Structure formats: structure tokens, C-alpha cells
């Protein structure tokens, strides 16, 4: 692979394994357009949503132009094309997570809906007063609030697996927290704040030893690390299309087939039924009993195109690139005097760097760096209990993906240095 030009005339060598983010970057039309009229876009908020490559955009357009019909409804050719595209996407998602069968893949609007599906369809039937649900101290609200609500409805108890001072899970406490009363253990594969990559299999082994099930929030890990449900030995796993270069409005719930078979529907309506009478109904087979009404068909097809795109680049290469870039970012951001939260090494975390700059509120900081075209997140990142554990109301967060370069990190650091003078 040839060396690629970087802004300012410098040349950058390809990253690990020949992966060249400058070449990848050309696949994303958004980077062709400046912000604030003349600033190069430095997008460091992929943990919130990833940018979309041209291949995904074109696939969604092609669906609307040549295949648009309601899946599983019409027996005419156009309807059959739509159904095939939709079901081909299910097979793509099954391969992506190494599911034994596409029957384990339920399409949803995203990670949040996937987790709520489990809360309603599995939780209401299997969690009762006196039972316990275990979550970690670093969970996103999407993998916390549904379980708070379920425990409030059923009288079950919500327990928390803490983190240590490095932002790593206290797995040494699992034996005391996972008991015969535990029904479900919920764990993020990768923290959206700390970047911590959690030992899901260790957690799953502890849960299964007492007969509990395991739900994995893979919203952050699926785009960056890839996931293997067989290796993780999880019972449920959720992720969203928009964080892995796909459209918004689509996501996946993987469920162990035997568990899904025993679950009642989540929503009532069309297509999730087998037969309906005036006073009762019987329900469709899995996964269709969980996909009531007209699904987000074009978005699901676009999600499959996104999976094909990142798979072709190679998840190992993406991970190697992000590890190198994260190590660079950790050192560079620390050089500004910022306090960084989470594990100290890039090997222990994904491409997320949460930090605070002394005497500059994260919201002010995000506004200041935006003037230089730098996009970062500021706030509690839908993880307020974790913020309290860290002793801060909010942090700034830079999150990197396959199209980011050292130049992006350098641009952030230059903006941070300027921000330090604003309030002095």
C-alpha cells in the first residue's frame, strides 16, 4: 500500500497490518465537507454515532430505488426482493456475532430497544420478588434503568458489581454477588465512558454456575472488537447499527435460541401472530414473534452493508489501529494536564478517552474545541452513577474509530491548549 498524503503535506505510513486510515477516510463523504465554513472536520465522537461510508449510503438508496416493499407481506416480485434483502441481513448479522442460527437474531431499533425487549418478554415472566439482578457500576443507562424498573415492578433486588480505581471490574467480588437468587447478570462488553474492555466470559461463567442468564451490552464493542456469542457464552447480546457505520433506527438482539423459544412477544400487532380470533391469538415462531408491524427494513439492509464494510476491512486491523491511536491519545491528552479516567493502557480499553481539563467545564470545553472543527462529547454520557463513582458531574470524551488519525488527536490537543487560556 502506498503512503498517503496528510493535511499540511506530511506523509503517514499505513498503520498496523497495512491498515491506512487516510485511505479509509475517503470512503466517508462527510469528511469532504468543512465545518464552520473553513475548518477540517475532526470527528471524535464515534462512541455516540459513527459516520457512514458511501457503500452504506448507496445500499440504502438502492433498496429504496429497486427493492422497496414491505417484507414478508407481498407475494409479488418486488415484495420478494424486499423480503430477501431483509432476511439476507439477518444471516449477515448471525455470521457477524457467530450465532448458531439466524433464528437467534431479532431486529430492533437499537441496543436500548433490544434490552427493553428482554426486560418485558423475559424479565416479567422470570423475575419475581426475592430474586436478584446484577449489573456493573459502569453501565449505560440503557442497561441500568430497565432493570431498575423491572425490580420496582416485581420486588426483585438490583445489585451492583463495582469497579476499582483503574476503572476495571472487581471480578474478585463475583462469588459474593452472584448467588442462587441471581436471575440475570448484565454487563457492558466495553464501557462507553472508560473504554474498559470487560472479561465477559468470566462473568458469564460465574452466572451460569448458579443458573443465571447473562445479557451483554455490545453497543461499543461490536463496531471495534467484534463479538462472538459462542466464545462469550452469553444468553442475550445487543448492539446498534449506527455505531458500526450503519443507519440509525436499526439494531440486533441476539438471544440463545432455547431462551427465545420460551419468551412471549414484546409488542402485539401484525406479523408477530400465527392466528387471531376475536378474543385470543397464537404467536409466530422466533424471531418473527418479536418483530411486530413494519420493521425498519431499509435500515436493516443498511446495517448489513455496514457489517460487510467493516468485516472486509478486518476487525483485527481496526482494533490494532485503534489500540495504537488510543495509546497516542492517552499520552497526548495527558500532556495538556488533563485528568484521564479509565484503564491506564490501550490494551485494556477501546478507543475512548474520557477526561477533564482543570478549571474548564466539559460543556465549555466542547464548545471551545468545536470552533476548531473538533467534535467531542461532553456530559455524563448516560452513565450518571459512574460519574458519581468518579466524583465528577461530567467529563469530556474523545472517541476514535477506523477513520481517525494522529492528526485528529493533534488537532484536539492543540484546541485543548488554547482552551486552557480562556478562563485564566
Q: Which residues are marked as active site?
A: 382
The DSSP-derived string for 333-359 is HHTTT-EEES-SSGGGB-SEEEEE-TT
In contact, 259 and 213? CB cutoff 8 Å? yes
Instruction: Give bridge partners of residue 136 from the DSSP assignment.
Output: 161
Phi, psi of 231 (to 5 degrees): -70, -40
Indicate the pairing of strand 182-188 with strand 132-136.
Answer: parallel
Burial tier of 134 (Cβ tally within 10 Å: 0-12, 13-18, 19+): buried
Look at the alpha carbons of 396, 397, 403, 409 in this order and tell me if their dihedral is positive or negative. positive
Q: Which residues contact 239 (CB under 8 A, 6 or more apart)?
A: 111, 114, 218, 219, 221, 222, 223, 227, 251, 252
In 3D space, the residue among 268, 187, 183, 287 whose CA is nearest the CA of residue 232 turns out to be 187
In contact, 161 and 177? CB cutoff 8 Å? yes
In contact, 383 and 141? CB cutoff 8 Å? yes
Q: Which residues contact 401 (CB under 8 A, 6 or more apart)?
A: 46, 50, 51, 223, 224, 322, 351
CA distances (Å), origin 350, targets 53, 95, 189, 321, 399: 21, 23, 10, 11, 9
Indicate the pairing of strand 395-399 with strand 377-379.
Answer: antiparallel
Alpha carbon dihedral 274, 275, 280, 283, in 10-degree steps, equals 0
In contact, 321 and 351? CB cutoff 8 Å? no
In contact, 313 and 402? CB cutoff 8 Å? yes
Amino acid at each position: 500500500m502506498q503512503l498517503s498524503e496528510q493535511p499540511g503535506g506530511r506523509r503517514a505510513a499505513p498503520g498496523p497490518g497495512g491498515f491506512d486510515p487516510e485511505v479509509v477516510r475517503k470512503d466517508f463523504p462527510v469528511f469532504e465537507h468543512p465545518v464552520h465554513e473553513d475548518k477540517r472536520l475532526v470527528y471524535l465522537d464515534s462512541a455516540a454515532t459513527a459516520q457512514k461510508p458511501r457503500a452504506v449510503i448507496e445500499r440504502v438508496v438502492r433498496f429504496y430505488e429497486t427493492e422497496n416493499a414491505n417484507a414478508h407481506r407481498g407475494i409479488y416480485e418486488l415484495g420478494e426482493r424486499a423480503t430477501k434483502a431483509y432476511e439476507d441481513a439477518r444471516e449477515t448479522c448471525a455470521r457477524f456475532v457467530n450465532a448458531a442460527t439466524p433464528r437467534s437474531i431479532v431486529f430492533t431499533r437499537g441496543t436500548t430497544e433490544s434490552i427493553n425487549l428482554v426486560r418485558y418478554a423475559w424479565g416479567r415472566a422470570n423475575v419475581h420478588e426475592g430474586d436478584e439482578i446484577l449489573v456493573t457500576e459502569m453501565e449505560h443507562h440503557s442497561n441500568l434503568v430497565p432493570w431498575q424498573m423491572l425490580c420496582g415492578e416485581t420486588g426483585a433486588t438490583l445489585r451492583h458489581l463495582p469497579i476499582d480505581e483503574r476503572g476495571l471490574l472487581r471480578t474478585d467480588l463475583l462469588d459474593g454477588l452472584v448467588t442462587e437468587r441471581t436471575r440475570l447478570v448484565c454487563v457492558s462488553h466495553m464501557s462507553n465512558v472508560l473504554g474498559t474492555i470487560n472479561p465477559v466470559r468470566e462473568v458469564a461463567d460465574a452466572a451460569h454456575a448458579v443458573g443465571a442468564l447473562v445479557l451483554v451490552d455490545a453497543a461499543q464493542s461490536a463496531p471495534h472488537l467484534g463479538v462472538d456469542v459462542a466464545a462469550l457464552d452469553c444468553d442475550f447480546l445487543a448492539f446498534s447499527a449506527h455505531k458500526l457505520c450503519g443507519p440509525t433506527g436499526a439494531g440486533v438482539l441476539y438471544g440463545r435460541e432455547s431462551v427465545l423459544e420460551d419468551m412471549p412477544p414484546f409488542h402485539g400487532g401484525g406479523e408477530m401472530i400465527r392466528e387471531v380470533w376475536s378474543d385470543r391469538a397464537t404467536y409466530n415462531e422466533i424471531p418473527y414473534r418479536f418483530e411486530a408491524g413494519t420493521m425498519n427494513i431499509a435500515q436493516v439492509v443498511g446495517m448489513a452493508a455496514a457489517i460487510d464494510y467493516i468485516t472486509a476491512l478486518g476487525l483485527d486491523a481496526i482494533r490494532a489501529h485503534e489500540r495504537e491511536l488510543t495509546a497516542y491519545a492517552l499520552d497526548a491528552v495527558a500532556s495538556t494536564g488533563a485528568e484521564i479516567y479509565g484503564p491506564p493502557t490501550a490494551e485494556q480499553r477501546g478507543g475512548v478517552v474520557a477526561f477533564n481539563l482543570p478549571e474548564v467545564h466539559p460543556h465549555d470545553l466542547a464548545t471551545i474545541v468545536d470552533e476548531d472543527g473538533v467534535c467531542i462529547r461532553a456530559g455524563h454520557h448516560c452513565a450518571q452513577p459512574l460519574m458519581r463513582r468518579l466524583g465528577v458531574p461530567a467529563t469530556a470524551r474523545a472517541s476514535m474509530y477506523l477513520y481517525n488519525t494522529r492528526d485528529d488527536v493533534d488537532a484536539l490537543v492543540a484546541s485543548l491548549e488554547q482552551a486552557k487560556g480562556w478562563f485564566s
